Amino acid sequence: MIAQVGDRIVVKGTHVGDGRRIGIVTALRHADGTPPYEVRWLDDGHVGLIFPGPETHIEHPVAPA
């Protein structure tokens, strides 16, 4: 998994009834874009470090046309 600052990180729920959690990558710990990532979660504004698992994917921002 490779991310850049500004990418969205989406974590899918792992149990029945769990929702998705979406955050913005605010800092990288490695210059090559590999985990872990510092993320600001959109639901509560909390900033934390994430080591993404298999239920996680990255969405790169779409450039305006």
What does the pLDDT look like over 5-14, one tens digit per residue?
999 999 998 8
Q: Are 10 and 57 in contact (CB under 8 A)?
A: yes
Q: Structure pTM? A: 0.86
Helix then strand count (H, E) for the chain reads 0, 5
Nearest to 22 by CA among 5, 30, 6, 10: 10
Strands (E), 8-55: 8-11, 21-28, 37-41, 47-50
What does the pLDDT profile of the chain (65 residues) look like in tens digits?
899 999 999 999 887 888 889 999 999 999 999 999 999 999 999 999 999 999 999 999 887 76
